[in-house]
Structure 1
């Protein structure tokens, strides 16, 4: 396909002619063409830029003003010779924008082929670069929709009636922890949920417990394990499901009774729709795998353990604050794009340990500013018995909801069983 196939000089001139005839149509055309670069022919870019400048200054322009601004009265006069009206100018503008995005996509593909052929970067870096190029072009696709309140409110009302009739309490997934679900209303579709704690608090255990509960309701789960090998994740799921001592399991000294429970746990887990991915993984890898799995069954829950191990390349002039905040923002965009909840695990900084009150705050998130902004919900885990031997709350974990974009914040308590690496509802411990 030649370059000419992805532009139309006649269509460009038709749009410009229509705007000269009826300058007020520029407001409608701007919905599709806000930048002169959308036009392929350089002269047409100059004319459209002049129109934008004049309209910004005067909210109006005519043939004389435009010719003076462009400094090419002959070409402007030629545009008016077309036998055209302004009736279809918005449709023509939409078509021009479509052609522009296709040109940008082709440029991205050509550059991608060049990167692949040069073989100058590692394979992972090349994949990330190619993904960035294509995504930059793809982001130019306009998917913004304006909804009037009459339509939107009616749709939401019908959704409520339908869900209520089915006994559906909220949109999204239940975590399987009753008090937590009541507080945060589950994990909503399109949400980025940050689960953070200091080391050894049980954030991976809680994430795996939630993943198992969600999968148990028939919803597919993908776990990106960047800290532990997939075999170790499977071990944890087996021990938690069977309710057996993880230390005895690792040392291969299970009693006959414990072994029977392990077999029963295996029979339950093998039927669950859980997939585990480990190794060195970038946000491009995560997005690619989500897209592949989402095409098979929808919706799904994604768990990423954890943020600072995502292997995106950090530029030399970028701070850790900006780098990890940018990654968290990419994860948030993925949740929105695929309309799925993503649970992203994160570490809390060491400042927590220096305080007498060890309960975490939002400011304790590592590189907290950007990460917090990218979160719809922020959950912390705090166990008093970790810090105080004589704690009255032995075996109790507090799950602190420090941010909830669409609901309440607060604290709920769960039972913590370290031998089984498992959290339970307090009423069922």
Structure 2
């Protein structure tokens, strides 16, 4: 029988087998590692799903997606990260800062300190671990990254060459090497080329439809960073789904949409006026809103502390208690 056609009896038997053998949770659910988010997503992302991550400039979209990729790889599962914005060394520096922060806390080396280590030119012959030995967690971070580095593959993607066919081929190659399907990250979706469509909305429609089909055909979860339009990058405006750059197909095709905003930019005015201490405090928190979820709860606003100097969020989050607004009406 054609693989695209399956009777409900076959579907039911396959699901029954997965549940009895315990394979369903292992194979199809991919926890993000962010506890509160996984709770409202009923466990995490799912194979075959397209997940979009949008947000304000500087809200931490790449930081979030890379941290999710790290969490999945650290848990023992393969990840394929298509990066149209940065090279592999930049992503490695971010991961080392993240791991250092988890080990050494506020005393750990930040991104700038680790980058200086990578760019050392003194000719003293010391390796990275030796150069970070005097920091809190730096040398240990290198060893931790080595534990999962084979499972986290970063593809230096090109907006002129890395099209959907190239992404599919990389998925096939990684599946052949690891024996299992990888978690796929794309940073970012609007960079994927689609020749012959000069109109941007039309091009993005073809791209997002192709990525969704790919997620289903290859039975992989695909987590994409998505860019915002001009209105969405305006200071003090809360990023919503309608601010995503491109066609309405983005909202239609996605199974899950997460929107990131800086808490200070979206909290209601009275929380700032009557407690001035909140101004500085809220600047250190990000709001992750579940604006669409076909397998979980929609309309949930969660908050997580930002540690961007270490390229990470704290993964222990909570529901936002304060009232949020679509436009900030209070300026310092």
TM-score normalized with structure 1 length: 0.60
**Alignment partner of 1:247 out of 98, 112, 129:** 112
The structural deviation recorded for 1:344 is 1.1
- Aligned residue pairs total 281
**2: CA distance, partners of 1:402 / 1:368:** 17
Shift of 1:177: 0.7
Partner of 1:191: 49
Cα distance between partner residues in 1 of 2:70 and 2:132: 25
Match for residue 310 of structure 1? 192
Q: Hey, what's the Cα distance between the residues in 2 that align with 1:405 and 1:368?
A: 20
Residue 214 (structure 1) aligned to one of 57, 62, 72: 72
Question: Superposition pairs for residues 23-422 of structure 1, below 5 Å?
Answer: 142-148=2-8, 152-153=11-12, 155-163=14-22, 168=25, 171-185=28-42, 186-243=44-101, 244-252=109-117, 257-258=134-135, 261-272=137-148, 273-280=151-158, 281-297=162-178, 298-316=180-198, 319-354=199-234, 358-385=237-264, 390=279, 392-409=281-298, 410-422=300-312
User: Does the aligned pair in 1 maintain the 2:171–2:181 contact within 8 Å?
Assistant: no
Secondary structure in 1 aligned to 2:282?
A: coil
Where structure 1 has 5 or more consecutive residues not aligned to the other structure, the ranges are 1-93, 95-141
Note if contact 1:362-1:368 (Cα within 8 Å) is conserved in structure 2: no
CA-atom RMSD in angstroms: 2.7
Shift in CA distance, 419/228, structure 1 to aligned 2, threshold 3 Å = same
Q: Provide the secondary structure at the position in 2 that maps to 1:349.
A: coil
CA offset at residue 209 of structure 1? 0.4
Query: Aligned with 1:268: secondary structure?
Result: helix
CA gap 1:222/1:200 in 2 versus in 1, 3 angstroms:
same
Of residues 346-355 and 323-332 in structure 1, the stretch that sits farther from structure 2 once superposed is 346-355
Deviations 1:152-180 (A, max 9, x none): 445434533443xx894994111111111
> Can you give the 5+ residue segments of structure 2 that lack an aligned partner in the other structure?
102-108, 121-130, 268-277, 319-332
Partner of 1:126: none
Report runs of 4+ in structure 1 exceeding 6 Å deviation.
none
Q: 1:198: Cα distance to partner? A: 2.2
CA 248–354 in structure 1, closer or farther in 2 if over 3 Å, else same: closer
Question: Residue 183 of structure 1: CA displacement?
Answer: 0.9
Please give the secondary structure, in 2, of the residue aligned with 1:366.
coil
CA distance in 2 between counterparts of 1:147 and 1:294 reads 27
* In 1, Cα distance between equivalents of 2:260 and 2:196: 29
Check conservation: 2:285, 2:306, Cα contact below 8 A.
Answer: yes
Structure 1 residues 231, 242: CA separation in 2 closer, same or farther (over 3 Å shift)?
same
Q: CA separation of 1:355/1:153 partners in 2, compared to 1, >3 Å: closer, same or farther?
A: same
Higher RCO, Cα 8 Å, sep 6+: 2
Secondary structure of 2:290 counterpart: strand
The offset of 1:202, in angstroms, is 0.6
Q: Secondary structure at the match of 2:36?
A: helix
Give the SS at the match of 2:68. helix
TM-score of the aligned structures, taking structure 2 as reference length: 0.76
Whichever structure has more strand as a proportion of its residues is 2
